[in-house]
Amino acid sequence: MSELLLDVQNVTVEYPGHGFRGNPFRALHSVSVDVHRGECVGLVGESGSGKTTLGRAVLGLAPVTDGQVLFRGEDIAHASRTDRRRLASDIQVVFQDPYTSLNPSLTVEQILSEPLDVRKVPRSESSKRIKDLFDMVRLPADAGNRLPREFSGGQRQRIAIARALALQPALIVCDEPVSALDLSTQARVLELFKDIQEQTQVAYLFVSHDLEVVRHISHRVAVMYRGEIVEFGDGDQVTSRPQHPYTQRLFFAAPVADPKAQARRREERRQLLAAQNA
Amino acid sequence: MISPAHTTDPEIVVAPRDASKVSLFRRVLRNPLAVASMGFLAIAVITALFAHFLAPHDPNTAVIQNVLAPPNSENLLGADGAGRDVLSRLIFGAQFSLAGALVALLTSMIIGVSGGLLAGYFGKWIDTAWTWVISLMMALPTIIVLLAARAVVGPSLWLSMLIFGVMLSPAFFRLVYASVTAVRNELYVDAARVSGLGDGRIIAVHILSVVRAPIVIQSAIVGGIALAVQSGLEFLGLGDINVPTWGSMLSDGFTNLYTSPMLILWPALAIGLTLISLTLLANSLRDELERSNAPRKQRRKAKAPAATEAEAPSEIIRHEESGAPDGEVVLEVTNLSVGYPSPDGGLKKVVHDVSLTVRRGEVHGLVGESGSGKTQTAWSILRLLPEGGKIVGGSIHFQGRDLAKVSERDMQKIRGRSIAYIPQEPMSNLDPSFTIGSQLVEPMQIQLGISAKEAKERALSLLARVGIPHPERTFAAYPHEVSGGMAQRVLIAGAISCNPDLLIADEPTTALDVTVQAEVLDLLRDLQKEFRMAVVLVTHNFGVVADLCDRVSVMRLGRIVETGPTEPIFESPRHPYTQELLGAILSEAEPRGPLVTAGNSASPSPKGAVR
In terms of domains, do A22 and A150 share one? no
In terms of domains, do A27 and A81 share one? yes
Task: For residue A94, name the pLDDT band (cuts at 50, 70, 90).
Answer: very high
Write out the E strands in B183-266: none
* Residue B392: its H or E element: strand B390-398
Please write the tens of the pLDDT for every residue from B243-260. 889 999 999 889 888 888
Q: What number is the ipTM of this complex?
A: 0.83
Q: Does residue A97 lie in a domain region? A: no
Mean pLDDT of B478-487: 88
In terms of domains, do A189 and A72 share one? yes
For residue B604, list chain A residues with Cβ-Cβ distance below 8 A.
1, 36, 39, 219-220
Give the 3-state secondary structure percentages of chain A, helix then strand then coil, rounded to 5. 45, 25, 30
Mean pLDDT of B258-286: 90
Show the domain range for A206: 1-90+170-241
Instruction: Give SS3 for A100.
Output: coil
In terms of domains, do A212 and A251 share one? no
pLDDT of residue B41: 93
For β-strands B559-565 and B317-318, DSSP reports them as: parallel
Residue B17: pLDDT above 90? no
Please write the tens of the pLDDT for every residue from B528-569. 998 899 999 999 889 999 999 999 999 998 899 999 999 999
Report the percentage of chain B scoring pLDDT > 90: 36
Q: Does residue A95 lie in a domain region? A: no
Mean pLDDT of B235-247: 85
Please write the tens of the pLDDT for every residue from B52-101. 888 888 888 888 888 888 888 888 888 888 888 889 999 999 999 999 99
Contact across the interface for B11 and A154, Cβ inside 8 Å:
yes
For residue A152, list chain B residues with Cβ-Cβ distance below 8 A.
11, 15
Find all residues with CB under 8 Å of B462, minimum gap 6, and list them. B440, B493, B494, B496, B497
Q: Across all residues in chain A, what is the average pLDDT?
A: 88
Whole-angstrom Cα distance, residue A59 to residue A248? Answer: 30
Please write the tens of the pLDDT for every residue from B495-518. 988 889 999 999 888 888 888 889
Report the percentage of chain B scoring pLDDT > 70: 88
Q: Does residue A96 lie in a domain region? A: no
In terms of domains, do A199 and A76 share one? yes
In terms of domains, do A50 and A9 share one? yes
pLDDT of residue B45: 93
Whole-angstrom Cα distance, residue B483 to residue B477? Answer: 11
Q: Which of A136, A168, A200 is the last residue of a domain?
A: A168
Whole-angstrom Cα distance, residue B121 to residue B185? Answer: 9
pLDDT of residue B211: 83
Find all residues with CB under 8 Å of A198, minimum gap 6, and list them. none
Q: Which of A140, A168, A196 is the last residue of a domain?
A: A168
Mean pLDDT of A151-171: 89
Q: Which of A168, A183, A210 is the last residue of a domain?
A: A168
In terms of domains, do A5 and A38 share one? yes
The residue among A1, A126, A175, A241 with the most chain B CBs within 10 A of its CB, best to mutate, is A1
Residue of B nearest to A248 (CA): B515
In terms of domains, do A7 and A86 share one? yes
Please write the tens of the pLDDT for every residue from B443-470. 888 888 889 999 999 999 999 988 888 8
For residue B483, list chain A residues with Cβ-Cβ distance below 8 A.
none
Distance from CA of B365 to the nearest CA of A (A): 13
Lowest model confidence (mean pLDDT) among A62-66, B314-318, B516-520: B314-318
pLDDT of residue B325: 67
For residue A229, list chain B residues with Cβ-Cβ distance below 8 A.
611
CB B366 within 8 A of CB B538: yes
Q: Which residues of B186-214 are buried (b: 16+ CB within 10 A; e: fewer)?
A: bbbbbbbbbbbbeeeebbebbbbebbebb
Mean pLDDT of B118-135: 90
**CB count, 10 Å around CB of B395?**
17
- Residue A80's CATH number: 3.40.50.300
pLDDT of residue A83: 85
pLDDT of residue A87: 86
CA geometry: angle B342, B348, B351, nearest 5 deg: 150
In terms of domains, do A83 and A194 share one? yes
Q: Across all residues in chain B, what is the average pLDDT?
A: 84
Residue of B nearest to A166 (CA): B195
The residue among A117, A184, A252 with the most chain B CBs within 10 A of its CB, best to mutate, is A184
In terms of domains, do A21 and A155 share one? no
In terms of domains, do A27 and A73 share one? yes
Mean pLDDT of B435-440: 92
> Hey, what domains does chain B have and what are their CATH numbers?
35-299 (1.10.3720.10), 317-418+501-588 (3.40.50.300), 430-497 (no CATH)
pLDDT of residue B323: 64
> Tell me, what DSSP letter sits at residue B479?
G
CB A182 within 8 A of CB B581: no
- The count of structural domains within chain A is 3
Contact across the interface for B190 and A182, Cβ inside 8 Å:
no
Whole-angstrom Cα distance, residue B24 to residue B31? Answer: 11
> Tell me, what DSSP letter sits at residue B63?
-
Please write the tens of the pLDDT for every residue from B152-196. 888 888 898 999 999 999 999 999 999 888 888 888 888 888 888
pLDDT of residue B73: 83
In terms of domains, do A13 and A113 share one? no
pLDDT of residue B5: 38
Q: Does residue A224 lie in a domain region? A: yes
Q: Does residue A40 lie in a domain region? A: yes
Give the A window 197-216 contacts with B, CB below 8 Å.
209-213, 215-216
Residue B210: pLDDT above 90? no
